Structure 1
């Protein structure tokens, strides 16, 4: 009987995974591993054939030590905590959940943008502290006629564009992997990264984390942006140099930021999250009760199919 190990999760239970695997001749085990060594120890103790992973690092060493490992399933879209090259070298199939929370993330992105532009969080905090003064929010500018710049143009920003259509903003996008024709077809101008920085009143980040995109928003980028600009990130925390962002906001180089993701979660340095111009949420953009269920059922079903001779639907690597 093949064994699936949940290496780690912050889910309240494993009932959804057990429901999916019930009657499939597959055994489920759970652990809370936070390091590669802990993953190896937990997997060896149950002779795991497959891993279901949320945050734990699945490194080259994990693949080298776990000879019987057949598959790794990542709870989410990104697989940056899984060494795909090592997985390929050891013939281990990696699956993810590429489509499950586009509506949730795009809605949360817009919520962060509105909270920053309308200064909802700082005004709410002031009222709760006993201050009733609308002038504490000045200056607030009308969104109509402003420019929203998209860094990346996958499914989530496409949903976001549908949501902002009624607000009278112009939309431009930087994505070297999307054709000008595709963007033109949606009424969006394709621009260079420099033009995105120069022209945008609001920038929403939707890029994966790669060597190319790591800290693409750095001190130089903030220096190039408008001093009235707002930056929103619901993609990957390390796309932004958060130390440089904190300095840029403190120095008035940009107006503020809405962040759902950070390079370290929870943050080790709280200086950024304590700034009045910054709205931070705890990596929740993906979540609704419905997406929560879809996420867990999709990846568990793919792992079950793979272990029992079927073809996975969401294979990430070429094995």
Structure 2
């Protein structure tokens, strides 16, 4: 790049990290003439104010809506700090000629580990027993009945890489694997896994349901009353994907009426959780604060590769992990 030119502008709309060391290190290694801005945007207006003239955007949760994208004068790439891209209007970006990228493989072990940990915690009633021992009694009978995991069916809604890793881990505990994924047509990926003929079949047959589908228009509210009513009254639902995939009102009703034994949730519809949320009063619900993705190693990988997505596009290449294929190549001369 000609360093007499105006510097490239990269805006990090928001993040939960205490610093931006990884992002700045990647940028500095690849390009010196960059203005890097880190913000904590909450609204469309915040994003527009800071990023209207940005060449590239790094985004965590701030809304990159069609309204925002229409105001981006020369943006070439939006890279998400995560796997899901539900904070970005993909269609608007594509029509505007903007690459959208993510980091789809950074936390596969972590999420599958966390899902298995939630399953084990619920099945063995670990949080309950921990509180009982600390506050009142050394008495195993307070948590009965407990059932063996061997030969229980875990139903996987979505059968991507994380679900496949989970299948291997659940198999080690003697569980049977059933999955439903309309995009898997080549037979079971994991030895011993059975592909359900329908989502209804999976819900009815499984002892544990684990959600691993991305959030999009087709999956928002997918797990709702008609499916929840098919589940065994002893069954448990686990979600480490996205909260809005489950209709929360219907889930609460199923839990309160005993149509469903329990839930273990790392994600909910509105995060962070409201302190008056019914889940907080339900002993049959285990909650963690959207942490399944996290490890020190996964965080570093996420941040480095997310920034590499941006830098590759600004240097004339495709991103490492493209989510879309822009319809029109946007040039700075059009701005």
Q: TM-score range by the shorter chain?
A: over 0.9
1:316 maps to which of 323, 327, 335: 323
Q: Distance in 2 between matches of 1:185 and 1:112?
A: 21
Q: Name the residue aligned to 1:34.
A: 42
Would you say 1:43 and 2:51 are equivalent positions? yes
Q: Distance in 2 between matches of 1:211 and 1:136?
A: 43
In 2, are the aligned partners of 1:198 and 1:224 still within 8 Å (CA)?
A: yes
Q: Distance in 2 between matches of 1:184 and 1:106?
A: 16
Q: Name the residue aligned to 2:134.
A: 128
**1:58 counterpart SS class:** coil
Q: Which moved more, 1:276-285 or 1:61-70?
A: 61-70
Q: Distance in 1 between matches of 2:64 and 2:263?
A: 31
Q: Distance in 2 between matches of 1:114 and 1:137?
A: 14
Q: Name the residue aligned to 1:255.
A: 261
Matches within 5 A, 1:168-247: 168-179=174-185, 181-183=186-188, 186-191=191-196, 192-247=198-253
In 1, are the aligned partners of 2:305 and 2:320 still within 8 Å (CA)?
A: no
Flag structure 2 segments of 5+ consecutive residues without an equivalent: 1-6, 327-335
Q: Name the residue aligned to 1:290.
A: 297
In 2, are the aligned partners of 1:7 and 1:33 still within 8 Å (CA)?
A: yes
Q: Which moved more, 1:84-93 or 1:128-137?
A: 128-137
1:165 maps to which of 144, 164, 171: 171
Deviation per CA, 1:138-186: give whole Å up to 9, x if none. 111111111111111000011011111221111111111102x431762
Q: Which moved more, 1:182-191 or 1:33-42?
A: 182-191
TM-score w.r.t. the length of structure 2 is: 0.91
Q: Name the residue aligned to 1:101.
A: 107
1:271 maps to which of 274, 278, 282: 278
Q: Which moved more, 1:31-40 or 1:269-278?
A: 269-278
Q: Distance in 1 between matches of 2:187 and 2:295?
A: 30
- In the TM superposition, residue 69 of structure 1 has moved relative to its aligned partner by 1.5
How has the CA–CA distance of structure 1 residues 2 and 98 changed in structure 2, closer, same or farther, with 3 Å as cutoff?
same
Q: Name the residue aligned to 2:98.
A: 92
Q: Distance in 1 between matches of 2:145 and 2:107?
A: 34
Flag structure 1 segments of 5+ consecutive residues without an equivalent: none
Q: Distance in 2 between matches of 1:273 and 1:65?
A: 41
In 2, are the aligned partners of 1:148 and 1:204 still within 8 Å (CA)?
A: yes
Would you say 1:306 and 2:313 are equivalent positions? yes
Deviation per CA, 1:33-86: give whole Å up to 9, x if none. 011111111224xx3211100000101111111212221110011101100111
Let me know the Cα RMSD of the aligned residues.
Answer: 1.3
In 2, are the aligned partners of 1:242 and 1:272 still within 8 Å (CA)?
A: no
**2:291 counterpart SS class:** coil
Q: Distance in 1 between matches of 2:77 and 2:150?
A: 49
Q: Distance in 1 between matches of 2:280 and 2:246?
A: 14
